[in-house]
Amino acid sequence: MFERCLYFNSNALARRVNREWEAAYGELDLSPAHAYLLRLILAQPGLTQKQIGEALGLEKSTITRFVATLEKRGLLRRTQGGDDDGRVIQVMPTAKARRLQARLEQIGEQLYQRMRQILGREHMDSFVGELRETHRALDRE
């Protein structure tokens, strides 16, 4: 019945993957979405919320909430700058976030390696590539 259903199968997979990622990043008391936003800002300090949304494929309102949550936890800060009149708000990591960076990257690598072990290297890499291309194709629609 569900062999051809993109909705059912993608959601079932997302729930399964979320359990793995939630358990892994739960060690740092972070949701996977918060962890990836933090990893992005650690890798590219000074992004705007719009740029973060584009990179993560999330709506501006979601990014605003996530940044506010991480700011309250002392992991991110918003600063004015990036343009001539200071109206652009950039998101910067704090020292506390920098102290988590190595562990965040380690967890990400462990998750990647675990999935490669379960799925096989070629299947994992091609599957992620196909997911990304499917997402881009749907966005073009």
pLDDT at residue number 82: 62
What are residue 131's DSSP bridge partners?
A: none
The 10s digit of each residue's pLDDT in 94-130 is: 999 999 999 999 999 999 999 999 999 999 999 999 9
Q: How confident is the model at residue 2 (pLDDT cuts 50, 70, 90)?
A: confident
Please report, for residues 61, 62, 92, 117, 122, the alpha-carbon distance to residue 129 in angstroms, rounded to integers and kept in the order given: 27, 25, 29, 17, 11
pLDDT at residue number 87: 78
Fold entry, domain 28-140: Arc Repressor Mutant, subunit A (1.10.10)
The 10s digit of each residue's pLDDT in 26-59 is: 999 999 999 999 999 999 999 999 999 999 989 9
In sequence order, which residues have a C-beta less than 8 Å from that of residue 62 and are 6 or more positions away? 53
Q: What is the pTM of this model?
A: 0.88
Residue 72 host element (H or E): helix 60-72
The domain spans of the chain are: 28-140
The 10s digit of each residue's pLDDT in 51-101 is: 999 999 899 999 999 999 999 999 999 998 766 666 789 999 999 999 999
